Amino acid sequence: MSDPNNYKATGVQTPTAPPCSVDTESQTPATGGTQTQTQNPPVAGTGMGQFIERWKREDMLKKGCFGLRCIALLFSLFAFIIMASNKHGDWRDFDKYDEYRYLLAIAILSTLYTILLVLIQVYQLSTNKEIFSLKNSAFLDFFGDQLMAYLLLSAASSAVPLTNRMRENNDNIFTDSSASAIGMEFVAFLAMAVSAIVSGYKLSKQTYI
């Protein structure tokens, strides 16, 4: 047998076994062992995507309310102008009837209310600043829109029976103008009613509720 020390003495290096290549990919976990499952890494930007979607939804709701209130403003103004100019002498004057005076008063109130809201929203959309806090703004929009929608419907409904009775006997410019003003207030009511629904949805999404 050869002595390993003789290699050192003669200057010849001791032969070593070649490294054994291990195929780590082909290895399987031992039976009964715990196998580590590779999980997909979390998608980067998921939180930012949700924030952007929420921002887009809130921006769409703001623009939707703005459009509805512009419609309510336009038709309330038309109802006010038509009824205020509906004076043709004798019994054909609107101010001789309580129903028409009430309709005119609500048309004026709706016009002023929607003008105020439209101006506030124009300022908010142009400057990206809130005049009121989100909490106060949500409550004011919801209850204000609901109240105004109720008043518009009440005024238009109260004037319908009187106009129908008049048109049975005398269908003239006075009754036609009255019917037009009533129709304008009904359209304004529909716009304010939808705006109240949107305001209620915005109110329900507030975090403090």
For 121-177, the DSSP string reads HHHHHHH---SS-HHHHHHHHHHHHHHHHHHHHHHHHHHHHHHHHHHHH--SHHHHH
Burial 6-38 (b: 16+ CB within 10 A, else e): eeeeeeeeeeeeeeeeeeeeeeeeeeeeeeeee
Cα–Cα dist 14/88, whole Å = 126
pTM of the model: 0.68
Q: What is the pLDDT of residue 43?
A: 46
Side chain identity at residue 52, one-letter code? I
Q: What is the pLDDT of residue 82?
A: 94
**CB of 118 closer than 8 Å to CB of 73:** yes
Identify the segments of the chain with pLDDT beneath 50.
1-2, 4, 6-10, 12, 20-38, 41-45, 51, 208-209
Q: What is the pLDDT of residue 137?
A: 76
Going along the chain, which residue ranges are E strands? none
Structure tokens at 82: 């038509």
Which pairs count as long-range contacts for 74-78, CB under 8 Å and 24+ apart, including other chains? Answer: 75/184, 75/185, 75/187, 75/188, 75/191, 76/107, 76/110, 76/111, 76/114, 76/152, 76/184, 76/185, 76/188, 77/107, 77/111, 78/181, 78/184
Q: What is the pLDDT of residue 198?
A: 86
Cα–Cα dist 45/38, whole Å = 21
87 SS3 class? strand
Q: What is the pLDDT of residue 209?
A: 44
**CB of 134 closer than 8 Å to CB of 208:** no
Q: What is the CB neighbour count within 10 angstroms for residue 55?
A: 10
Q: What is the CB neighbour count within 10 angstroms for residue 109?
A: 17
